[in-house]
Amino acid sequence: MKTYLDCIPCFFRQALEAARITGEDEKTQKKILDEVAKALPDFLLSASPPEMARKIHGIVKEITGINDPYAEIKKQSNKLALSVYPDLRKKLEKSPDRLLIAVELAIAGNVIDYGVKNTLDVDGEVAKILSAENKAIKNESEENFNYSQFKKDLLDAKEILYLADNAGEVVFDRIIIEEIKSLDSNKRVIYAVKEKPTINDALIEDAIFCKIDKTAEIISSGSDAPGTILSLCSEDFLKIFKKADLVISKGQGNFETLSHVKRPVYYLFMAKCPVIANDVGCKVGDIILLQKSG
Amino acid sequence: MKTYLDCIPCFFRQALEAARITGEDEKTQKKILDEVAKALPDFLLSASPPEMARKIHGIVKEITGINDPYAEIKKQSNKLALSVYPDLRKKLEKSPDRLLIAVELAIAGNVIDYGVKNTLDVDGEVAKILSAENKAIKNESEENFNYSQFKKDLLDAKEILYLADNAGEVVFDRIIIEEIKSLDSNKRVIYAVKEKPTINDALIEDAIFCKIDKTAEIISSGSDAPGTILSLCSEDFLKIFKKADLVISKGQGNFETLSHVKRPVYYLFMAKCPVIANDVGCKVGDIILLQKSG
């Protein structure tokens, strides 16, 4: 996806959020915004928004010397998400369509606010999101929520690459991957996280903490981009990306960076921002399960 | 008011809105945002937000060669507001507290969306805003909506300076100024607009079109700032600003640029943005009638 002009104010909002999370003073925060401003004229709209986001978070690291400003937030998200895992399994097991509820839970994991205080709150949020999602999915056109085709392709696939998004969310991804493996234990599922810290994106340590290694192989994309910018990915990753029978891409960042790429990918996310909703042709808040090749 | 870091993303949002209103293509719009970005590092947070807004709208004018991008919007707002004038008068005349309803109407004029299609729509919006305001005013603390003190000071004042905000809104200001004059026809009311186009701020031509010259003397601030930056104002304006018995300042822009100034001013506006609400110590959407000296 190209960058739209509406993304530019949002870049500064994201930069300010990250700057504040480092705990640095207002002067340093202004310096970060100034450096982002200096980078803007060289940034072309033909690049995807996460390419600018990567620059922004690079600036935050460089100015503050803090390599992983979101470390504490990620730890907290992982713990909270893990604490609701047994309940998520229960929801799955009592569902008449286990794969569908697994897809919904995977979305819930992306949408949930891990800033909430305790397990009970997270549980309540999951329930809220699930009920909202059920409604959204029912209203969804086949075009943007193509579950039947997804189920068919998934059954056929032997090797599946799953592109992770955020920490915490990994636990919810684990649910759907466990379900995929329960369909056929011979399926190979590869779970790709980021190589280096970027925003609250999952790293290998988060994947292991959330115990996804019990059901999938973990690799890294080889990059620190908040999304999957192929030119920055490792050879090992690219090899798997090319040869996998099915690629499941989680979250907006992966969609933004891959939607133009010439290989079919199943995008699974909630359209949280108006620019992406407009690009997809859906409403903000819609659940997307869309196969697309650029 | 100083500039808060949260204003920075909003500067880019404002710049994009203005760039789009000029009708220029995406390339030119990006160029405008790039120039705003280049200006950011030199902008100090100790300055007020409208100082940056003035820079932004200067950049828009310079790059596009369009001196008054909001000209058509202002004309439309004036016409629509003027078409509801008889109805506004009726509302005033049947009110048990005419000055209070005049204050409320003055706020409604600031809040109303003149992008709506016709007189009936504007009428409906006024009614909506009035009923919402009544609630808001009832919940207001004396501190932020000091109507009784305002009424007393207004009765005592012989010379009143009224700082205008936007086109269209002038018609609503006319209602309150007519009410002030009806309290004592010997009161002198001076209505100050901007000297040159800036956003949708009222100019002398808007004030005359809305017939405020029938009840007040019109002057200009001498500047093109979207607010009242005293260092940019004319000598004539400053003389009146100093010697007026009462200054009524309308809208957020005037508050942002004057709140630190060492002379008592009555600020009349709705806190539309979270930064200003936080600075005042109120909620977004609150109606403010506050006397303050910096």
Task: Convert the pLDDT of each residue in B36-91 to its tens digit.
Answer: 999 999 999 999 999 999 999 999 999 999 999 999 999 999 999 999 999 999 99
**Per-residue confidence (pLDDT) for residue B46, from 0 to 100:** 96
Biggest CA–CA distance in chain B, Å, is 56
B13 in A contact zone (CB under 8 Å): yes
Least CB-CB distance to B41: which of A9, A29, A37? Answer: A37
> Which tops the pLDDT comparison, B228 or B113?
B228
Q: Does residue B117 lie within any of the structural domains?
A: yes
In whole angstroms, what is the distance from residue A74 CA to residue A71 CA? Answer: 5
* pLDDT value for A131: 78
* Same domain membership, residue A212 and residue A100: yes
DSSP characters for B152-168? HHHHH-SEEEEE--BTT
Order of strands, sheet of B217-220, starting from the edge strand that comes earlier in the sequence: B217-220, B188-193, B159-163, B246-250, B265-270, B287-292
Whether the CB of B273 is below 8 Å from some CB of chain A: the reply is: no
**Is residue A38 located within the same domain as residue A183?**
no
CATH number at residue B122: 3.40.50.10880
pTM score, whole prediction: 0.93
Instruction: Verify that B49 and B97 share a domain, yes or no.
Output: no
Which residue does chain A place closest to B46, by CA atoms? A27
| Closest residue on chain A to B19 (Cα) | A5
- B2 to chain A: which residues are within 8 Å by CB? none
Measure the CA–CA gap between B189 and B173, rounded to whole angstroms. 11
Q: Kindly report the CA angle at A231 between A230 and A232, in degrees rounded to 5?
A: 90
- Residues B264/B268/B272/B273 CA torsion (nearest 10 deg): 0
Res. A116: pLDDT tops 80? no
Position A1 in a domain: no
A91 and A225, same domain (yes or no)? yes
Tell me, what's the pLDDT at A127?
Answer: 83
What's residue B251's pLDDT? 96
> What's the average model confidence in pLDDT over A101-108?
92
Give the model's pLDDT for residue B158: 97
| Residue A106 falls inside a structural domain | yes
Nearest CA of chain A to the CA of B73: how many Å? Answer: 22
* Residue A2 within any structural domain of the chain: no
Structural domain harbouring A40: 7-64
Q: Are residues A32 and A75 in the same domain?
A: no
Contacts of B38 in chain A (CB under 8 A): 37-38, 41
Residue A267 in 3-state DSSP? strand
Q: At residue A19, does pLDDT exceed 70?
A: yes
Total tally of structural domains belonging to chain A: 2
Q: Which of residues A64, A87, A112 is at a domain's end?
A: A64
Per-residue model confidence as pLDDT tens digits over B200-259: 999 999 999 999 999 999 999 999 999 999 999 999 999 999 999 999 999 999 999 999
| Residues in B touching A38 (Cβ below 8 Å) | 37-38, 41
Residue of B nearest to A31 (CA): B41
pLDDT of residue B156: 97
Q: How far is A176 from chain B (nearest CA, A)?
A: 37
pLDDT at B142: 64
pLDDT at A140 over 70: no
pLDDT at B140 over 80: no
Lowest mean pLDDT segment, chosen from A57-61, A192-196, A231-235, B95-99: B95-99
DSSP B97-144: SHHHHHHHHHHHHHH--TTSSSHHHHHHHHHHHHHHHHHHHHHS-TTT
A8 touches chain B (CB under 8 A): yes
Q: What is the overall mean pLDDT for chain B? A: 93
Task: Give the residue from A97, A172, A78, A139 showing the smallest Cα distance to A286.
Answer: A139
Domain boundary residue, one of B64, B86, B105? B64
Helix (H) or strand (E) holding A190: strand A188-193
ipTM of the prediction: 0.92
Residue A29 has pLDDT above 80, yes or no: yes
Helix (H, G, I), strand (E, B), or coil: what is residue A50? helix
Chain A residue at shortest CA distance from B12 = A9
Q: Which residues of chain A lie closer than 8 angstroms to B26, CB-CB?
A: 5, 45
Residue A105 lies in a domain: yes
Task: Give the number of beta-carbon pairs within 8 Å between A and B.
Answer: 50
Q: Which two tokens stand for residue B264?
A: 């008592």
3-state secondary structure of A46: coil
Number of residues in chain B: 294
A87 in the same domain as A38: no
Identify whether B266 is part of a domain.
yes
Query: What pLDDT band is residue B264 in, cutting at 50, 70 and 90?
Result: very high
Give how far Cα B270 sits from Cα of A168, B273, B277, Å. Answer: 40, 9, 9
Classify residue B2: in a domain, yes or no.
no
Does pLDDT of B273 surpass 90?
A: yes
Highest mean pLDDT among A91-95, B112-116, B131-135: A91-95
Last residue of a domain, one of B64, B81, B99: B64
The Cα-based distances of B57 to A181, B17, B251 in angstroms read 58, 10, 18
A132 at B interface, C-beta within 8 A: no
Who wins on pLDDT, A112 or A133? A112
What would the pLDDT profile of B176-191 be if each residue is shown by its tens digit?
999 999 999 999 999 9
Q: What is the pLDDT of residue B137?
A: 58
Tell me: pLDDT of B289 over 90: yes
Percent of chain A with pLDDT over 90: 86
Q: Which residues of B touch A16 (CB under 8 A)?
A: 5-6, 8-9
Residues A112 and A254 in one domain: yes
What DSSP state is assigned to residue A96?
S
Same domain, A103 and A43: no
Instruction: Quote the percentage of chain B above a pLDDT of 90.
Output: 85
Predicted pLDDT of residue B285: 86
> Chain B contact for A5, CB < 8 A?
yes
Mark whether B59 and B84 lie in a shared domain. Answer: no
Instruction: Indicate whether A104 pLDDT > 60.
Output: yes
B115 and B186 in a single domain? The answer is: yes
Report the pLDDT value the prediction gives residue B135, as an integer from 0 to 100.
54
- Indicate if the pLDDT at residue A99 is higher than 60: yes
Residues B32 and B89 in one domain: no
The one-letter code for the residue type at A27 is: K
The CATH number assigned to the domain holding B58 equals 1.10.8
Contact (CB, 8 A) for A74 and A168: yes
Tens digits of residue pLDDT in A173-227? 999 999 999 999 999 999 999 999 999 999 999 999 999 999 999 999 999 999 9
> In this structure, is residue B1 part of a structural domain?
no
Asked whether residue A134 carries a pLDDT value surpassing 90, the answer given is: no
- Average pLDDT of chain A is 93
B258-287 burial code (b ≥16 CB/10 A, e <16):
bbebeeebbbbbbbebebbbebbebeeebb
Whether residues B56 and B139 share a domain: the answer is no
**So what's the pLDDT on residue A118?**
79
Query: Does residue A25 sit at the B interface (CB-CB below 8 Å)?
Result: no
Cβ separation of B6 and A16 shorter than 8 Å? yes
Q: How far apart are CA A12 and CA A32, in angstroms?
A: 10
